[in-house]
Amino acid sequence: MQAAIVISRRTAQHVRLWRLGASRRRRAVNERALPFRQTDFSSRPVLAHWASTDNMDDEVDERVEYITAQSIAEMFPHRKEFQKRDSISWGGRTLDLELGEDVSYEAENSDVSDVLESADDGRALDLGLSPAEMLNRFDPQKPPSMDNLEELQLWLECEAQQEAVLKYQKVIESARKRKDYSSLSLVQRQVLWWFQPLVDAIEKRQKDYIFREKSEGDVSKSAQRFGPFLCTLPPAKLAVIAAHTAIMETLTNSNNSLHGTPFSVIARQLGQAVEDEVIIQRVLHQRYKESQARASVLNVSNILDDEATDDEPENDDVNSSNARDGGFLGEGKIKAAEEDPTKRWTYSTSHLQNYLDELKEFKPKSQRLASFAIWRARQVLENDEQWTERDKIQLGAALFKVLLDCATVKDGGRKGEPAFVFEKRWTRKDKSRAYVTLNEKLRNMVISDRLQSFSQTTTRQKPMILPPKPWTKPKEGGYLWLKSDIVRYHGCDLQLEALNHANLNTVYDGLNSLSKIPWVINKRILSVAEECWARNIAIGDIPSKTDFEVPPEPIRPERPTQKLEKGHPEYDSYISEMRAYREARARYDRMRQRNSDLVSLRCSVVLKLDQADKFKDFKEIYFPYNMDFRGRVYPITPHLSIVGSDLCRGLLKFAEAKPLGPRGLFWLKVHLANFAGKDKVTLEERAAYIDENIDKVRASVEDPFAGDRWWMTLDDPFQGLAACAEIIAAIDSGDPESYMCNLPVHMDGSCNGLQHYAALGRDAVGGKAVNLRNTDKPQDVYSGVMTEVIRRVAEEASQTIDFDTSDVEALTRKQKKILANNRAAKLVDGLIDRGVVKRTVMTSVYGVTYIGARQQIQEKIEEKLESLGCDIDEMNLEVFRACGYLARVTMEVMGQVFTGAKETMNWLTTCARMITQLGYPVAWISPIGLPAIQPYRRKKSSKVVTLMQVVSLIESNDDLPLHSSRQVSAFPPNFVHSLDASHMLFTALEMDRRGLSFSAVHDSFWTHPCDIDEMNMALRDTFVELYERPLLEEQLADWKMRYPDLEFPPLPERGDLDLSEVRSAKYFFQ
């Protein structure tokens, strides 16, 4: 047989050729100048030699790609069928080609058809299933077997909305056939009752936009704006997105207040969810086409057929006048989409075919308008630009309005209650804010169902079962199919531009070394956590299933009908009643808020447990990493990762197990003792503490729910229980040194931010306080601050007030301050311990404000008062004032103790202020080579008219003025964050060079117990090497080069800290 295998390739004029009219594209096909998408063949043998014609068309660059015998031989080295015949038929550029004659190539053997068929599925190259084949075989209802991890990884990344659509349709059909809905869960029954009406209502909305029919309550301009976005997905998929997103947002959103979730948040998230779905389906569709083209590169007939379907029909009255120069969406395009095998589950315009079929019933003008509306929808689908916040909010509001009209909760009766409550509340006379709350019955059903009906749509970013794709470009890495950015740049285009021009090799290598570490689920901890949840044991991150008792809602007293003077009995009575009402209202709102927080915590735990259960049987799972603009590293997965809470960390272990060796058991004991709060004694004393309590450790492992449950008293109970299990298993093995352990052990920095400040300024005093110098016992900077704070508070509380306090209003301002401080000191005296001041000290170098410090301290003080039986609600104002006083004292003490850090911080602040005054954002290059640009801008408020209400949209982009105060105040902590992130990545690279497993959560470094000693050496070496560089001098020189007109202040004077001492500092990380 003869096989015509001449194909062409679109080059620089790809887009222009695509926009040619139907007649020109047909001519191109007839001349066998077949348009072919640009594809990356870098991973394959060289496929083509290039040849170009001398005569260039005005519109088209007729550069043609020909497959030569040599190329085919490289592609199929094991086949002998392709032989070079002569220079005329096999040459690169021939006389026939120059003359425009039709050229074809022949194969001498009829077995060419076999080769073409094998090339089409990709298996002839021994590369396994091609991406096209995998996508062809993708079934959102049936995951592949665990034997084919590549296919299963694809399934996990694609699994989301369409799976839910098919699930609903399948459940409905099955229940209808059986005429029995009793087998469905309560949540399924509720959602299924309004799923089809919701689909129908969304479809009607799409028709209203396409056929210009005005809906009830429609806002014409708004409808025309969100209409194309509403038509990007089929109604069934939009229904699932709307229902699931709205339910999950009302349950888990961190912006929840006691009034519910702000409507603007719901609308924005709905729009974002639709955009996310469009993006991922667009990417999968594009990758399918590219991989299909690679696999079928020799099958010309298939390619020709596919190209032919791209032409608009000549005789189509509706489309012929609109198809040229890009045109409106033609029927041929949609039919081509229908023939795409991915239409079963992925991006497709086939759902718009239904509307084209109805156009014949309309007048020509209406047909043109409808065709234009469909063309706009297609433009949204194919355009890679991000949707604006305005577009997302308007689309989300439209979807939520439909959902609000359709969604009901039925409880026995025929008439249901609204599933969502939309309520406006006035914040002031001329401004209101809308809130959305979930029906309480539906909320309880969802939580009791453990979110099983919604968990698969909460995120696509799940743990991976294959090693993540290595980072090679700012947007190339992480998931195999999903798109990810290497930096979370918060919409700062300057940062993205800088990344594209920077040398990020160190960043790539560091992230890749972290991403390739395999993990497994700790099934023992998962089982215990499941039991805690089932038995309603509130511990660690697992909240109680029982709500707090909410007092009756107080009734506001009526205002007197006539104006009364102060001192009048009725006036005094009204004031007294109002005071009591406000206190009762505060107590009522406080308990409602606590219950609202419980709902979010319950949903968070259920999502973590669900994901752990989903991946528990895999031998290896992986976490792709990226970073924020400062270089701090995070796993991309939102629910389950080592950066999560105690529960998440306890659920994860290294996949690789290694013998404990001579020191592994010792480090396991130190690890457990740290969770028991013994982290301020020597390492040997910590191990001895575990030996003394080994019976409690064993009892915790043998039956976690019997006895005194010692493990539940630990600071991090689930991580502590995991350590208990490994210690007992190692001891019971009879040979602890040979025991194979895969539990990571942590080494944490001692107030790591202050460690970096001390190293920057060579502060010997501050360095000793944070263990940069070798000492016999660990230094505890928190205890040092605590001691001084206790002394000052006790001194203030012992003061005697020497003026009359019976009439506070008559006191002077100075006397009021003295009295307030004295009362505050008496309230908190005796309640201060290390935990009260720890968070404030720890975050002081990261820019904690007075308000933040007061909130941190108030949480601890309230816990202590509640444990003493005090009614926090009744003394809320006194506690608030006392904690404000304690925050001021704590911050004063820190400023005096850490003078070196304060000087460096002040210098950084001054430089940032000077740069900001020129109108530039503060920018620097971190030691790992990451360009960091602070994204803080003044917010711009604009009005967005939606179908529900007018929403105030807060916008932020590079065109807005700088937020000067935030640029200045945030720079010192951001700069230090970039330094601690650099230290962590340098350590990751060094551990990778040594062939050791390593992971980290900022300043907490993890490895196998047997490798702790080596990791301790590595992290100290990299820290010293980092700070042997003149970092501040380098930064000053960089700024002077960029801002030559500025006179920067001189660098702060350095101390005499010897950095080499860090290498022998036993408690630097502990």
Element at 633 (helix H, strand E): strand 633-635
Q: How confident is the model at residue 747 (pLDDT cuts 50, 70, 90)?
A: very high
Q: At 686, phi and psi to the nearest 5? A: -65, -45
Sign of CA dihedral 123, 129, 135, 137: positive
Q: How confident is the model at residue 16 (pLDDT cuts 50, 70, 90)?
A: very low
Question: Which of 98-112, 231-245, 327-341, 652-666 bottoms out in mean pLDDT, i.e. has the lowest?
Answer: 98-112
- Alpha carbon distance 232, 379 (integer Å): 9
Question: Which of 71-75, 579-583, 933-937 bottoms out in mean pLDDT, i.e. has the lowest?
Answer: 71-75
More confident residue, 887 or 382: 887
Q: Is 789 helix (H, G, I), strand (E, B) or coil?
A: helix
Q: What is the DSSP letter of 43?
A: T
- Alpha carbon distance 214, 209 (integer Å): 8
- Alpha carbon distance 633, 618 (integer Å): 25
Contacts for 335-338: CB closer than 8 Å, 24+ residues apart: 335/309, 336/306, 336/309, 336/310
pLDDT at 486: 93
Tokens of 166: 């098919």
Q: Is the pLDDT of residue 846 over 50?
A: yes
Q: Is 1007 helix (H, G, I), strand (E, B) or coil?
A: strand
Looking at domain 658-741, does it have CATH number 3.40.50.11540? no
DSSP of 194-262, one letter per residue? HHHHHHHHHHHHHHHHHTTPPPTT--HHHHHHHHHHHTSS-HHHHHHHHHHHHHHHHHH-TT-BTTBEE
**What are the boundaries of each domain within the chain?**
14-128, 177-292+307-457, 521-619, 658-741, 771-897, 905-936+962-1064
pLDDT at 438: 83
Q: How confident is the model at residue 133 (pLDDT cuts 50, 70, 90)?
A: low
Q: Is the pLDDT of residue 429 over 80?
A: no
Q: How confident is the model at residue 181 (pLDDT cuts 50, 70, 90)?
A: low
pLDDT at 776: 87
- Alpha carbon distance 468, 464 (integer Å): 7
Task: Give pLDDT tens digits for 287-299.
Answer: 666 666 655 554 5
Which one of 317-326, 467-476, 830-839 scores highest in mean pLDDT? 467-476
Q: Is the pLDDT of residue 431 over 80?
A: no
For residue 81, CA distances in Å to 217, 495, 636, 892 come to 69, 54, 49, 85
pLDDT at 745: 96
pLDDT at 64: 28
- Alpha carbon distance 403, 415 (integer Å): 17
Q: How confident is the model at residue 988 (pLDDT cuts 50, 70, 90)?
A: very high
Tokens of 371: 């065709």
Tokens of 4: 């015509």
Mean pLDDT for all residues in the chain:
75
Cβ neighbourhood burial of 489 (10 Å; 0-12, 13-18, 19+): buried
pLDDT at 566: 75
CA angle in degrees (0–180, nearest 5) for 665-671-675: 145
Identify the active-site residue in 838, 902, 992, 1011: 838
Task: Give pLDDT tens digits for 521-546.
Answer: 999 999 999 999 999 999 988 999 88
Q: Which amino acid is at 775?
A: T
pLDDT at 954: 67
Sign of CA dihedral 16, 20, 26, 28: negative
Q: Is the pLDDT of residue 248 over 70?
A: yes
Region 739-760 average pLDDT:
92
- Alpha carbon distance 921, 967 (integer Å): 7
Question: Which of 517-521, 578-582, 692-696 bottoms out in mean pLDDT, i.e. has the lowest?
Answer: 578-582
Question: Which of 173-182, 778-787, 952-961 bottoms out in mean pLDDT, i.e. has the lowest?
Answer: 173-182
Region 804-814 average pLDDT:
80
For 905-936+962-1064, the fitting CATH number among 3.30.70, 3.90.1150, 1.10.30, 3.30.110 is: 3.30.70
More confident residue, 920 or 15: 920
Give the contacts of 338 (CB within 8 A, at least 6 positions apart). Answer: 348, 350, 353
Task: Give pLDDT tens digits for 56-109.
Answer: 333 323 322 323 333 333 333 333 333 333 322 222 222 232 223 333 323 333
pLDDT at 213: 61
Is the separation of the CB atoms in 207 and 213 below 8 Å? yes
pLDDT at 695: 94
Task: Give pLDDT tens digits for 301-315.
Answer: 444 444 444 444 343
How far separated are the first and last CA of the chain, in Å rounded?
74
Q: How many CB atoms lie within 10 A of CB 734?
A: 8
Is the separation of the CB atoms in 387 and 416 below 8 Å? no
Question: Which of 186-190, 391-395, 462-466, 706-710 bottoms out in mean pLDDT, i.e. has the lowest?
Answer: 186-190
pLDDT at 380: 79
Q: Is the pLDDT of residue 20 over 60?
A: no
pLDDT at 948: 66
Nearest residue to 102 via CA among 149, 66, 145: 66
Beta bridge partners of 654: 519
Q: Is the pLDDT of residue 352 over 90?
A: no
Question: Which of 337-351, 484-498, 500-514, 894-908 bottoms out in mean pLDDT, i.e. has the lowest?
Answer: 337-351
- Alpha carbon distance 130, 328 (integer Å): 33
Tokens of 473: 């470009």
Is the separation of the CB atoms in 957 and 491 below 8 Å? yes
Q: Is 521 helix (H, G, I), strand (E, B) or coil?
A: strand
Sign of CA dihedral 146, 152, 156, 161: negative
Q: Is the pLDDT of residue 115 over 60?
A: no
Q: At 464, phi and psi to the nearest 5? A: -100, 155
Element at 969 (helix H, strand E): helix 964-993
Tokens of 584: 């009762």
Question: Which of 179-183, 485-489, 692-696 bottoms out in mean pLDDT, i.e. has the lowest?
Answer: 179-183
Q: What is the DSSP letter of 1006?
A: E
Q: What stretches of 53-149 adopt beta strand conformation (E)?
A: 63-66
Region 485-492 average pLDDT:
83
Tokens of 797: 């509380």
Q: How far from the centroid of its chain's Cα atoms is residue 894's Cα?
A: 34
pLDDT at 89: 29
- Alpha carbon distance 337, 289 (integer Å): 11
Q: Is the pLDDT of residue 9 over 60?
A: no
Q: Is the pLDDT of residue 656 over 50?
A: yes
More confident residue, 516 or 431: 516
Would you call 838 a catalytic residue per the annotation? yes
Q: Is 764 helix (H, G, I), strand (E, B) or coil?
A: helix
Identify the active-site residue in 449, 509, 748, 829: 748
Question: Which of 462-476, 488-502, 884-898, 934-948 bottoms out in mean pLDDT, i.e. has the lowest?
Answer: 934-948
Region 765-783 average pLDDT:
88
Q: Is the pLDDT of residue 999 over 80?
A: yes
Q: What is the DSSP letter of 542?
A: B
- Alpha carbon distance 766, 1054 (integer Å): 12
Is the separation of the CB atoms in 284 and 481 below 8 Å? yes
Q: Is the pLDDT of residue 691 over 90?
A: yes
Q: Is the pLDDT of residue 407 over 90?
A: no
Q: Which residues of 967-1002 are buried (b: 16+ CB within 10 A; e: fewer)?
A: bbbbbbbbbbbbbbbbbbbbbbbbbbeeebbbbbbb
Q: Is the pLDDT of residue 178 over 70?
A: no
More confident residue, 835 or 944: 835
Q: How confident is the model at residue 46 (pLDDT cuts 50, 70, 90)?
A: very low
CA atoms within 13 Å, Cβ hemisphere of 783: 9
Would you call 748 a catalytic residue per the annotation? yes
More confident residue, 680 or 215: 680
Task: Give pLDDT tens digits for 598-651.
Answer: 888 888 888 899 889 989 989 999 999 999 999 999 999 988 999 888 999 999
Question: Which of 105-114, 504-513, 912-921 bottoms out in mean pLDDT, i.e. has the lowest?
Answer: 105-114
Q: Using CA atoms in the order 823, 825, 830, 836, what is the torsion angle rounded to 10 degrees? A: 120
pLDDT at 59: 31
% of the chain residues with pLDDT over 90 = 29
Cβ neighbourhood burial of 221 (10 Å; 0-12, 13-18, 19+): exposed
- Alpha carbon distance 911, 1050 (integer Å): 10
Task: Give pLDDT tens digits for 673-685.
Answer: 999 989 889 999 9
Question: Which of 464-473, 617-626, 660-669, 848-857 bottoms out in mean pLDDT, i.e. has the lowest?
Answer: 848-857
Q: Is the pLDDT of residue 48 over 60?
A: no
CA atoms within 13 Å, Cβ hemisphere of 302: 15
Give the contacts of 93 (CB within 8 A, at least 6 positions apart). Answer: 51
- Alpha carbon distance 288, 117 (integer Å): 18
Which one of 382-391, 597-606, 1040-1049 scores highest in mean pLDDT? 1040-1049
pLDDT at 945: 67
Tokens of 231: 């038509």
Q: Is the pLDDT of residue 916 over 50?
A: yes
pLDDT at 25: 35
- Alpha carbon distance 733, 728 (integer Å): 8
DSSP of 391-446, one letter per residue? HHHHHHHHHHHHHHHH-EE-SSSSSPEESEEEEEEEEETTEEEEEEEE-HHHHHHH
